[in-house]
Structure 1
Amino acid sequence: MSTNEKLARAMDSLPLPDSAELSRALAEANVQTLLAAYAHLSRDFALLDRFAPHIKPAFSGEITVIPDDLAEELRGKMRHLLTTGEGLHKDAPSDALIQRIMSVTVGEAVEDEFIDAVFDQCGFRPWIDRSQVEGRRKPPANFKVLVIGAGLTGMAAATKLREAGYDYVVIEKNSDVGGTWYENRYPGVGVDTPSHFYSFSWEIWPDWTHYHPQGADMQRYMLAVADKYKLRENMRFGTAVETLVYDDKSGTWTVTVRNPDGSHEDIVANAVINGHGPVNRFRWPDIPGLNDFDGPVVHTANWPADLDVTGKRVAVIGTGASSAQLVGAIAPKVASLNVYQRTKHWVLSNPEIADDVSEGMKWALTHIPTYLEWFRFRVYWNAADGLFSNVLKDPEWEGNSLAVSAANEGIRQYALSHLHARMADRPDIIEKLTPDFPIFSKRIILDNGWLDALARDNVHLETGGIARILPNGVEGKDGTFYECDIIVCATGFNVAKMIGNLTIKGVGGRDLGEEWGEDDARSYMGMCIPGYPNYFHTVGPNSAPNHAAGQNMISECQVNWIIEALDRIVEADAKAFEVKQDAYDAWNRKVEERMPEMIWTHPGANSYYNNSKGRVFLSWPWRLVDFFTETRRPAEGSYDLHK
């Protein structure tokens, strides 16, 4: 069922009974979102205008205070519309009206450039359903696409390839879908991106239990999507891709996979979409003696299902996002916990990160037409491109060197105030945790019990570094020794080596592993490399939305672009699509020219966004809406079609 059909069916469900569930939903629903849904359904411009002076932008420093009587009037009007159907408009509103609703309900102008992206991503008008495009040439039956990985991007590719009529197979090394969320199961694992945005635009979910999903919530969503869209029919589990070799003459890839029984098999495909993701290959720390420890040594990304830390003495190496989530979850259970900090990180308070979605809110998301779509828009605006100003250097900024703009300094002060308030009686921890670089120049931590855990008597934060691991514990560089039962490495992933352990041979035997080396991956739009026709590397170099939420949107956009590229092959009776060298070169120059304007090139910034030479190889230096616009179709003149 298309999104438009879903909305039409929701409209047809009206009128609703005047029930206790409706009353609770109206009481608990977000007021601005309720206003958006009401204006969409009723075209009540007068009420929209009366709300406008009270709604302020999320990061303006001003507070939105909606008068109680105005909010109650809205609830009353919405109740009347929903229970009687009087004043309901079932026809689709104009773009101008949608834009007006958007601008009022987020308290700032939403410009024309956002309209197509919002319509697509929030489910009002999906960008394209290729099965419904009149005159589009259908892919031939013998044109096969192989997708590597059944995580977020691989599932998006499977859904849209099927919709577009392509024969495809997904190769997944795990026993089910989910990727990151199948593998990461450590206590406290969660998602920074708000639930109602971190999902597919064609399957916006009302069933989240938390406003920021825990890992199990995310995997539950992925499983539900796989079931609904019957994605497993074209998936092979327990199978790992090892080698990809391009044949110049046939324009095909021979993909060697290792089957569950250990045997090897060659699969010939016309095109390959690599969706194995950069946060898939976890990294162990290089610490002397790590392999000599007598107890369990585990990585957060490979947490044993039977590991019980209750009453144990635990050492956690690392203080990034995974560590913060884990420490917040296990600190009350362990006997003692030493946390070894290698790098400081900014910590932001998000009051709703641990909040459950109330029953009334769930009811509103499920039963009030357009409410779900409008709530997704609100989350996108405030958690994604609304944060972009934080990572863009202001050349006129004359403030301190720990910020790059007034907006960035405002967020920095907000983070500092949270740290000082939480640790008011622990100046020692404040000193240990306060970074000396701008906020957002590295990945931030959302506080979900992290600071509270560090303030506990059974938790100690070590900042002096580790000298070595002994069979019974951890020795610090200052000579201190911590005897422990379990060592947990929260030390991240080898993001920079983007092809992982794959061997990829292109035209004339070119070797992508040799060309990219250990950490110098480059591509066109995070997807294509000259010399590797019909090989599409998703979530590749300079395509990560490191300013905010949005990896789901990046994945969808790349899948859209790739299918457009495949359609060019079909339309031209060609064998292969290859990005031109000059387009590739121009794109990389554009990125390099842009990076000095971004926070990630600040002298204090050095993170996994940078390679060993300091180049920012990971981050997309523009907004999400810009990525959406750039990926509607391959630019004319940027590619060759080989026949």
Structure 2
Amino acid sequence: MAAKYADVAGTARADLSARKLPLKDSPELRQALAEGEIHTVLMTYVHLSGDEAMLDKFVPHIKSPYAYPPEQIPVELVEELKDKLLHVLTTPGAEMDEEPSDGLMHRMMSVGLAEEVADEFLPLLFDQIGLRPEQPRRERKDRKPAPAGFKVLVIGAGMTGLAAGVKLAEAGYDWEIVEKNEEIGGTWWENRYPGVGVDTPSHFYSFSFALNSEWQNYHPLGTDMFAYLKRVADDFKLRPHIRFNTMVEKLAWDEGEAVWNVTVRKKDGTIEVIRANAVINGNGSFSRMKWPSIPGLESFEGARLHTAAWDPSIDLKGKRVGVIGTGASAAQLIPAIAGDVSELHVFQRSRHWVMPSVAGNDEVTEGVKYAMRHIPHYAEWFRFRIYWYAADGLYPNVLLDPEWPEDSPSVSAVNETMRQFAVGYIDKMFADRPDLKEKLTPDFPVFSKRIILDRGLYFPTYLQRHVHLEQTPIEKATATGVVLKDGREIELDVLVCATGFDAANMLGNLEIVGIGGKHLRSEWGTEDPRAYFGMLVPGFPNYFHTSGPNSAPNHAAGQNLISERQVNYAIECIDWINAEEKKALQPTQPAFDAWQTKVETQMDKMIWSHPRAYSYYNNSKKRNFLSWPWRLVDFWNECRGPRKEDFELL
């Protein structure tokens, strides 16, 4: 399967701006218009034609996807739009000579969403939907060129590491990526369990500088995601700069030289020290799998697996299989293996809210892929709509309404509407199974922990006679299975732990020694990481910890945006160092402390502070160490560059 998707992804273009008009009037083009998402078709037509009157015709009919009664656009208006777009696409000179004005683009956005898009979002949207790519740093006249010999070391060749490689190359820096695995991809190389996929929509979960027209599903399979990242690495010629099968073990700051001495261990066990002026750690929070604390787990004599370290040689056909956990990985794995096993016991440790995929069976049709490949601006406007409804459009759900009852299972009227939608899905799927309804309905607010996406496969799996959902906690594991706290013993051939990752231990086994022999482990311990703006810590100059404390977009999709913007921020900091002819920077202690206070103050206003909210976002003391408590647009703006008053240059 991996080879299949790798071949497909290889045909995708990193730059879709090469799409040109006119197109040939063909069955493929007409199929694309027939299958195209209608709001995106409207945006594409107005972008190409400047025909603002068509927006006026659609205004009375476009509604929010959460509105009732649901949106109904007259068939004759849809056909008129498609005919007009076909004319523009196939007639020489029919499109506008110039790009739409900012004012028209702004109105298009608001009409297409049936809500006003505030001015503050426009710079982010122009950047992230790919309509106005940023100018490469090497070409910027306001920037001092990167000095020769200033080396940046990047840890990890996952999404953030690859983004760092692309942007450091554009900036003209000497750079290198160190990757512990034999291939790029990070999470999407390591996780290979059956059904592995991504909850974030495909056409947004990609780089703004490398839009992909070849997604097979609206939410990518793991192999699909890996193929995309592999193509990015190849298209941007990153591989010659990556050391594979190499583990970073220690960073030690040399105060005299103002460089990091980076100790790495190669696959053959040999040690090397790399000297770097700055380090961008792109290791991520989901690279350290977490086993459950179950007495006797190692005594189980059957096959014992973790979803993050899947062994494809183990045949599950006809086996009695137990799955511990009902989170995102389990929800993908369970329907993927249910048809093969003789008995499937799912051990639910906590409940999760489950939402149906609005994309139905989730497959991208050939017509839509044709539109993405060939119709100018279609891919960008499709990405815009996904951003709004999968990202900051969801932010009101995670804000606490101070007037809302504290004992409610929701935090606001908006959040309650979403809860009712999720409850309705449970009621629909288990209308004849009140026992499953009770087991699967959470008592905490929607969005207070990660939501599960159901592509129409997960919930129905529990209706199969050989699938058993167990709520009773596991007392212990034995050689032949598990014993529950009510005394029941369940015999198993295979035990799968879908128990996630040790996200709180953000350093893993990495040792970091800063100024004066200060150890970052002493600052963070194993579960209490804190950083200025989620990336920097006083005493550890030129060390940028991406996907760090309180930088995760837990209200929405958007890790791709976080990765891009953290890389942008790190390079802006490095550019500033070199423009001032200094060697390093670090945040001041007052700035660091003020940031912690700012985060904690805002967190009190968020859903994650609800008394029933508990998830891997929290450490054992219930402090949310992971979530970014503001919008993605706020993160995008903060990452424009460093607040110079918050830093000390060395």
Q: Judge same fold: TM > 0.5, yes or no.
A: yes
2:411 aligns with one of 393, 396, 404: 404
- The amino acid of 2:129's aligned partner reads C
SS in 2 for 1:590: helix
Q: Is residue 627 of structure 1 aligned with residue 620 of structure 2? A: no
Instruction: Show the counterpart of 2:9.
Output: none
> What is the distance in 2 between the residues matched to 1:98 and 1:82?
19
Instruction: Show the counterpart of 1:542.
Output: 550
Q: Is residue 636 of structure 1 aligned with residue 644 of structure 2? A: yes
> What is the distance in 2 between the residues matched to 1:546 and 1:128?
30
Instruction: Show the counterpart of 2:104.
Output: 97
1:263 aligns with one of 260, 267, 270: 270
Instruction: Show the counterpart of 2:236.
Output: 229
Instruction: Show the counterpart of 1:462.
Output: 470
Following TM superposition, by how much is the alpha carbon of 1:126 offset from its aligned partner in structure 2, in angstroms?
Answer: 2.0
Following TM superposition, by how much is the alpha carbon of 1:90 offset from its aligned partner in structure 2, in angstroms?
Answer: 3.6
Following TM superposition, by how much is the alpha carbon of 1:248 offset from its aligned partner in structure 2, in angstroms?
Answer: 1.2
Deviations 1:75-94 (A, max 9, x none): 00001111103431142222
Shift in alpha-carbon separation, 1:90–1:311, aligned structure 2, 3 A = farther
> What is the distance in 2 between the residues matched to 1:70 and 1:584?
56
SS in 1 for 2:42: helix
Following TM superposition, by how much is the alpha carbon of 1:400 offset from its aligned partner in structure 2, in angstroms?
Answer: 6.4
Shift in alpha-carbon separation, 1:42–1:33, aligned structure 2, 3 A = same
Following TM superposition, by how much is the alpha carbon of 1:396 offset from its aligned partner in structure 2, in angstroms?
Answer: 2.9
- The amino acid of 2:126's aligned partner reads F
Shift in alpha-carbon separation, 1:115–1:501, aligned structure 2, 3 A = same
Instruction: Show the counterpart of 1:157.
Output: 164
Following TM superposition, by how much is the alpha carbon of 1:5 offset from its aligned partner in structure 2, in angstroms?
Answer: 11
Indicate conservation of the 8 Å contact 2:16/2:211, yes or no: no
Instruction: Show the counterpart of 1:560.
Output: 568
1:73 aligns with one of 70, 80, 86: 80
Instruction: Show the counterpart of 2:507.
Output: 499
Following TM superposition, by how much is the alpha carbon of 1:62 offset from its aligned partner in structure 2, in angstroms?
Answer: 4.8
- The amino acid of 1:541's aligned partner reads P
Indicate conservation of the 8 Å contact 2:14/2:212, yes or no: no
SS in 2 for 1:446: strand
Paired residues, number: 637
Following TM superposition, by how much is the alpha carbon of 1:291 offset from its aligned partner in structure 2, in angstroms?
Answer: 0.8
2:496 aligns with one of 464, 469, 488: 488
Indicate conservation of the 8 Å contact 1:8/1:90, yes or no: no
Shift in alpha-carbon separation, 1:69–1:326, aligned structure 2, 3 A = same
Deviations 1:375-394 (A, max 9, x none): 00010011111111110112
- The amino acid of 1:47's aligned partner reads M
Following TM superposition, by how much is the alpha carbon of 1:351 offset from its aligned partner in structure 2, in angstroms?
Answer: 3.4
Following TM superposition, by how much is the alpha carbon of 1:587 offset from its aligned partner in structure 2, in angstroms?
Answer: 1.0
- The amino acid of 2:234's aligned partner reads D
SS in 2 for 1:376: helix
Following TM superposition, by how much is the alpha carbon of 1:629 offset from its aligned partner in structure 2, in angstroms?
Answer: 0.6
1:420 aligns with one of 427, 430, 440: 427
Q: Is residue 107 of structure 1 aligned with residue 104 of structure 2? A: no
Following TM superposition, by how much is the alpha carbon of 1:49 offset from its aligned partner in structure 2, in angstroms?
Answer: 1.1
Instruction: Show the counterpart of 1:208.
Output: 215
> What is the distance in 1 between the residues matched to 2:15 and 2:199?
28
> What is the distance in 2 between the residues matched to 1:349 and 1:579?
44
Indicate conservation of the 8 Å contact 2:15/2:210, yes or no: no
> What is the distance in 1 between the residues matched to 2:16 and 2:200?
25
Q: Is residue 430 of structure 1 aligned with residue 437 of structure 2? A: yes
1:9 aligns with one of 8, 18, 21: 18
Shift in alpha-carbon separation, 1:366–1:562, aligned structure 2, 3 A = same
Indicate conservation of the 8 Å contact 1:346/1:434, yes or no: yes
Following TM superposition, by how much is the alpha carbon of 1:169 offset from its aligned partner in structure 2, in angstroms?
Answer: 0.6
Following TM superposition, by how much is the alpha carbon of 1:59 offset from its aligned partner in structure 2, in angstroms?
Answer: 3.3
Q: Is residue 451 of structure 1 aligned with residue 462 of structure 2? A: no
> What is the distance in 2 between the residues matched to 1:446 and 1:61?
22
1:578 aligns with one of 566, 583, 586: 586
1:479 aligns with one of 487, 492, 497: 487
Q: Is residue 124 of structure 1 aligned with residue 131 of structure 2? A: yes
> What is the distance in 2 between the residues matched to 1:440 and 1:463?
22
Following TM superposition, by how much is the alpha carbon of 1:612 offset from its aligned partner in structure 2, in angstroms?
Answer: 1.0
SS in 1 for 2:644: coil
2:29 aligns with one of 18, 22, 47: 22
Q: Where do 5+ consecutive residues of structure 1 fail to align? A: none
Following TM superposition, by how much is the alpha carbon of 1:583 offset from its aligned partner in structure 2, in angstroms?
Answer: 1.2
- The amino acid of 2:531's aligned partner reads S
Q: Is residue 296 of structure 1 aligned with residue 303 of structure 2? A: yes
> What is the distance in 2 between the residues matched to 1:325 and 1:306?
19
Following TM superposition, by how much is the alpha carbon of 1:450 offset from its aligned partner in structure 2, in angstroms?
Answer: 1.6
SS in 1 for 2:329: helix
SS in 2 for 1:297: strand
> What is the distance in 2 between the residues matched to 1:408 and 1:268?
50
Following TM superposition, by how much is the alpha carbon of 1:328 offset from its aligned partner in structure 2, in angstroms?
Answer: 1.4
- The amino acid of 1:589's aligned partner reads T
Indicate conservation of the 8 Å contact 2:181/2:246, yes or no: yes
> What is the distance in 1 between the residues matched to 2:558 and 2:361?
20
- The amino acid of 2:569's aligned partner reads W
SS in 2 for 1:168: strand
TM (norm. structure 2) is: 0.96
Q: Is residue 604 of structure 1 aligned with residue 619 of structure 2? A: no
- The amino acid of 1:534's aligned partner reads N
Following TM superposition, by how much is the alpha carbon of 1:371 offset from its aligned partner in structure 2, in angstroms?
Answer: 0.4
Shift in alpha-carbon separation, 1:350–1:246, aligned structure 2, 3 A = same
> What is the distance in 1 between the residues matched to 2:631 and 2:260?
34
> What is the distance in 2 between the residues matched to 1:88 and 1:450?
45
Following TM superposition, by how much is the alpha carbon of 1:307 offset from its aligned partner in structure 2, in angstroms?
Answer: 2.0
Among the aligned pairs, what percent are the same residue?
Answer: 55
Indicate conservation of the 8 Å contact 2:15/2:209, yes or no: no
Q: Is residue 136 of structure 1 aligned with residue 138 of structure 2? A: no
Deviations 1:231-288 (A, max 9, x none): 1110000000000000111110000000121111000100000000000000111111
TM (norm. structure 1) is: 0.97
> What is the distance in 2 between the residues matched to 1:223 and 1:620?
29
2:528 aligns with one of 520, 527, 546: 520
SS in 1 for 2:368: helix
Q: Is residue 45 of structure 1 aligned with residue 52 of structure 2? A: yes
Indicate conservation of the 8 Å contact 1:56/1:62, yes or no: no
Q: Is residue 338 of structure 1 aligned with residue 345 of structure 2? A: yes
> What is the distance in 1 between the residues matched to 2:68 and 2:639?
34
- The amino acid of 2:591's aligned partner reads A
Q: Where do 5+ consecutive residues of structure 2 fail to align? A: 1-12
Q: Is residue 88 of structure 1 aligned with residue 83 of structure 2? A: no
Q: Is residue 171 of structure 1 aligned with residue 175 of structure 2? A: no
- The amino acid of 1:38's aligned partner reads Y
1:184 aligns with one of 170, 173, 191: 191
> What is the distance in 2 between the residues matched to 1:611 and 1:622?
20
> What is the distance in 1 between the residues matched to 2:532 and 2:575?
18
Deviations 1:8-52 (A, max 9, x none): 532xx2111110001100100001000001000000000111101
Deviations 1:114-172 (A, max 9, x none): 00000110111123420110142111221100000000000000000000001011000
